[in-house]
Amino acid sequence: MNIIYHCYGGTHSSVLAACIHLGILKSAEARTGREFLTLPGFDQRNAEDLGRVYFYGWDEAGNRVYVLGRNGYPALPVFLYRALAAVLRTDARCLIVDTAACLNFLTRLGGFISCRLGLKRIGRPLLILGARLAYPKLAALVSSIRKSSA
């Protein structure tokens, strides 16, 4: 199965979810900003990367885990997958997971300032604080996805 975690920019909550899913981040532990900033793709993508699907790895059940930035169109990844699957006549199973519901105001504001405005020194502290607060929700979401995809 393919599991695609997606969020607005594909650089914050979806990256965290993919890394929790793959065990790069342990889901029960509190995280630090330094750990977040070392994750591949975390707070590193820009507008040109929207719509690109990034492969993050295989989980222990053999599922492929991906990250996608889908801009302001949360229903678009599911719609496109269904359309492409019909055209390509494939029966490949895919679980498309919107991680944006796990975000909070600080994560959104910090991500906007850091990525959209390019003011990393101002945006990152807000982003990291928000991500630390959102982490339990992301871990719970990933736990439910792992159970349903096993």
CA distance to 63, 65, 72, per residue, from 40 (Å): 19, 13, 22
**pLDDT at residue 37, as a whole number:** 93
Residues 136/24/42/105 CA torsion (nearest 10 deg): 0
pLDDT over threshold 70, residue 122:
yes
**pLDDT (tens digit, 9 = 90+) per residue, 125-139?**
999 999 999 999 999
**pLDDT at residue 77, as a whole number:** 66
**pLDDT at residue 150, as a whole number:** 76
- Higher pLDDT pick, 41 / 51: 41
**pLDDT at residue 144, as a whole number:** 96
pTM: 0.88
Tokens of 35: 């750990």
Task: Confirm if 7 and 70 have CB atoms less than 8 A apart.
Answer: yes
